[in-house]
Amino acid sequence: MSKTGDVKMGGTLRLVQLKDFDTYNPFTSEGRPSLPELQDAGGLITVDPNSGDYEPYMADKMTISKDGKTFTFTLRPELKWSDGQAITADDYLSTFAIYADEKVGASLYSYLYEGDKKVTWKKLGNLSLSITFPAKTVQNLETISYLTPQPDHVFGAAYRAKGADGVKALWDLKMDPKDLVVSGPWKVDKYVLGERVTLSKNKYFGDWNKDSAGRALPYISNLQYNIVPDINASLAQFLAGNTDLFQPTNRDQLSQIADAKKAGKLNVEIAANIGPVASVDMLYFNWNKSSDPVKQGWFRDKRFRQAMSMLVNKDAMIDQVLGGFGFAAWTSVYPLYSDWIAPNVDKYKFNPAGATKLLTAMGFKKGSDGILQDSKGHKLSFTLITNSENNRRQQLARLFADEAKKVGVDVKTNFIPFNQLLDTIGPEDDKAKLDRKFDSAISGIGGGGFINPVGVASMLQCGGDLNNYNSSKKCIAPWESQMYNLYLQSRKEFDITKRKAIANKIQALQAENLGNLYLVSQSSHYAWDSRVKGEYPKKIATPLWASSYFGLRNVLLSWIDEK
Amino acid sequence: MIPFLIRRFLQLIPTFVLACVLVYVLIQAAPGDFLSQFRENPRVTPEALELLKRKFGLDRSYLEQFWIWFTNFIRGDLGISFSHSSRPVWDLIAPPMWNSMILVIFSLILSYAIAIPVAIYGATRPYSTFDRLFSVFSYFGLGIPSFFFGLLAIYMLLTLKQNTGWDVPITGKSSSNSINPTPWQYFGDVFMHALVPSVILALRSISSESRVLRAQLMEVMGQDYMRTAKAKGLEYQKLMYKHAFRNAVLPIVAGLGGLLPAFLSGSGFIEVVFAWPGLTPLLLQAVQEQDIYVLMSTTALTTILYIVGNMLSDILLAAVDPRIRYS
């Protein structure tokens, strides 16, 4: 964080982009990061990185109706498009209408529906509007923060004249970027495909976006995205001092940068092991294996899963697989959201003796070959699969298998392509969902929201698309429906303290019953050229704000110190 | 000649169709589809997946999907890319194709400009010091994969920059410092960026082409008619370039047709290593994301060029080799 007096205006921030952007059109764009997103001002509301709460952004004021479904906004009067026209309620209204049209196929489409019910909106005046959701959920705030306005005099006009096709035909990469009308801090100047995109300041943005000293944002005049499709090549560019920001993803990249800095060859700052990333790896057992009732029986037994959890050596995983840069995970809340993690969730920590005890209580005894057998002589042996493209998960699987072997559990590992893994875990056919072909698997989950980070419906619901252990629509254990009902309740709770309390109950159920055995999260690291200033203060950089959501820096408040 | 060309053209049709079917079956045999990758992200709702499925026609039968692509392709429509916001495949692949071509052309010029003189030198003065030296070099050139040379070069250039400040372009196609360059400045910039990757790309073909040509030349020069010509006092230049070289170059001419699809298929991993915006990185990404129309259309285009390239080779061979007549 910089003192306001230090800030210098101007300069170019040199960034790297791993693949070409697809379009200037915000309604057809699917890639991430997308060029339209870079030119957006943001939503009606945004998150305050200090408190984690939503606060008005493009809106001046927000009120929530008593039933929690209707949100009313008054827009800031200074809002302007990059062509100088005012941003009004009409811009929002036509944007929502286009998003909600299935024929346009915009990626935000599904956010404007809840099942069959549609989100509705109303113009209350030139600068005020309301949005009504079919149900009261706290995620609605998140949805509102995603809905950015697009110019009604461009897209709205095309939509009224030619419908969805009119909107889709606008703003492909062949158009002259001079004609773009955007709301954000920067606007595309020039795009040479495969080489680079340059953006320059939108002077109207600073009219309503000022820093605490009253200076118009952004400080930086130009952004430059160099298209470098290979991560090693982009590291080489950073090491050569040709780009400003780099996010090392492993120990090797980190040490190359640190070595160059130490040898005085590179003038950079490094923030290593800042906090966990917003993703986690997890291990789970298949509860829907009707063709193999013996294994299905084991996998559905809570004691079995508790014993398996006691064979997961998370310290070794962090040490050996992640090179010390990682965090143990225990519930569906990623380690990133440390203040959301419930107390005492590490109930079934690494404890091989405890695992043996539990397995003995289930009736397992060691056979002559050293492998445990149940009372009918079935060997405790199963296959653990994960995807062949991911070395990290393969190593996690092997570590688990090694520890399991020591107590007489035979775990075979098998690595298959990612898509095949997904098809195996989540077959489309309803009948196949009751007899899935695998024993156990490791996969990951990433992203999601932070307003209720305990999870999403499709993960916590029986038979939900992201429910890995139970893909049958019928809940098998009572705790499953308890957990889902609690989740539905948490969605309706706007009070963050009460929401956390419900999340704690959900996590207590997860920690006891272990549908998923959460393993580890990787750590994130950042490096930047010393000429770039204005990173978040260290105390809020850990752990949430150095996440995949925000990075270590708010580009709007960064500045360049050319020496 | 004309009936030959017509016959070859007719052969093109079934070959082309069969190749397309084969590629399509291979792509579809891989598990999952384009949408599978979104499954790990809880923000992608099932409704959104369903919408995308319909949008890309993934809800139709495999046969139907193939037929739609195929008939469109015949009409010149290469389809759309799933992972690039439905951009037309042609718009997507044309710029990287051109970039790949720049590298291929640079390295071709380089490799023939070096390989031919080296071969002639080696053939006329076999087992001389230089010839032996070059043999050793060829073994390295052929034996070590070019991506390894690439990584080595990047490391050396990086060390150079960090220690001396000399800024030889490491990766990419142009530098970010030049704002609004003149066409000549831009050409110079691109040339500097292409230099190291195309030299590395050329290493392999310099090694192989010069060895082949050297062996051919030595064989031709040992022939009776060459000795006779020499005995009759034919001057060296004429002997070498009109008689020996023309005969020795035949295998290389036969290989020229293969260059046509090479223009399209890119310069392989060198493009990845040097972050050169060519076709290979795009195709690798398409394979990873199962962006089916990008893969299908590029393969189909390469197949056509391969067949046309072979035809051109035949014609060229007929032009340089009087023994070959297609009648």
Q: What is the pLDDT of residues A177-226, one digit of tens each?
A: 999 999 999 999 999 888 889 999 999 999 988 888 888 889 999 999 98
**What is the spatial distance between Cα A533 and Cα A555, in angstroms, rounded to a whole number?**
10
Residue B131, amino acid: D
Confidence band of A132 (pLDDT split at 50, 70, 90): very high
pLDDT of residue B42: 65
Region A260-271: mean pLDDT is 92
Is A334 exposed, middle or buried, given 0-12, 13-18 or 19+ CB atoms closer than 10 A? buried
Report residue B299 as tokens.
């393969």
- C-alpha torsion sign, points A243, A244, A247, A250: positive
**What is the spatial distance between Cα A440 and Cα A116, in angstroms, rounded to a whole number?**
35
Tell me the angle at which helices A496-513 and A302-309 cross, rounded to the nearest 10 degrees: 100
pLDDT of residue A188: 94
Mean pLDDT, all residues of chain B: 84
Confidence band of A544 (pLDDT split at 50, 70, 90): very low
> Which of the residue ranges A175-189, B14-28, B310-324 would you say has the lowest mean pLDDT?
B310-324
Q: How many CB pairs under 8 A join A and B?
A: 152
| pLDDT of B178 higher than 80 | no
Residue A30 at interface with chain B, using a CB cutoff of 8 Å: yes
Question: Which of B101, B171, B284 is most worth mutating to test chain A (most A CB atoms within 10 A of its CB)?
Answer: B171
Report residue A26 as tokens.
């915000």
Mean pLDDT, all residues of chain A: 90
Contact B174 A420 (CB under 8 A): no
Q: How far is CA A5 from CA A9, A67, A206, A441, B172, in A?
A: 11, 46, 18, 54, 38
Give Cβ neighbours of residue B113 (< 8 Å, ≥ 6 apart): none
Q: Which residue has the higher pLDDT, B271 or A355?
A: A355
Q: How far is CA A96 from CA A65, A119, A125, A193, in A?
A: 20, 9, 16, 31
State the alpha helices, DSSP H only, in A351-449: 352-361, 391-406, 418-425, 430-434
Report residue B13 as tokens.
């049709």
Q: Closest residue of A to B157, CA-based?
A: A240
Region A137-165: mean pLDDT is 93
Residue of B278, B314, B318, B276 whose CA lies nearest to B298: B278
pLDDT of residue A546: 44
- 3-class SS shares of chain B: helix, strand, coil, % to 5: 75, 0, 25
pTM: 0.82
For B222-235, what is each residue's pLDDT tens digit?
Answer: 888 888 888 888 88
Residue A362 at interface with chain B, using a CB cutoff of 8 Å: no
Q: Closest residue of A to B158, CA-based?
A: A240
Give Cβ neighbours of residue A539 (< 8 Å, ≥ 6 apart): none
Region B271-278: mean pLDDT is 88
Report residue A318 as tokens.
């962090």
Region A3-10: mean pLDDT is 77
Contact A449 B43 (CB under 8 A): yes
Assess whether the previous peptide bond of A49 is cis (omega < 30° from 0): no
Contact A110 B48 (CB under 8 A): yes
Residue of A275, A283, A393, A288 whose CA lies nearest to A348: A283
Q: How far is CA B165 from CA A259, A266, B158, B159, B161, in A?
A: 18, 11, 9, 9, 4
Confidence band of A557 (pLDDT split at 50, 70, 90): confident
Question: Across the interface, which of A109, A419, A456 has its CB nearest the CB of B51?
Answer: A109
Q: Which of residues 285-324 of A touch B (CB under 8 A)?
A: none
**What is the spatial distance between Cα B67 and Cα B65, in angstroms, rounded to a whole number?**
6
pLDDT of residue A311: 97
Give Cβ neighbours of residue A402 (< 8 Å, ≥ 6 apart): none
| pLDDT of A548 higher than 50 | no
Residue of A447, A449, A455, A448 whose CA lies nearest to A487: A455
pLDDT of residue A280: 93
Q: Which of residues 222-281 of B touch A (CB under 8 A)?
A: 272-275, 277, 281
User: Would you say A300 and A308 are in contact if contact means Cβ atoms under 8 Å apart?
Assistant: no
Region B274-286: mean pLDDT is 87
How many contiguous H segments (helices) and E segments (strands) does chain A have? 17, 25
| pLDDT of B255 higher than 80 | no
pLDDT of residue B10: 85
Q: For residue B179, how many C-alpha atoms fall within 13 Å in the half-sphere facing its CB?
A: 7
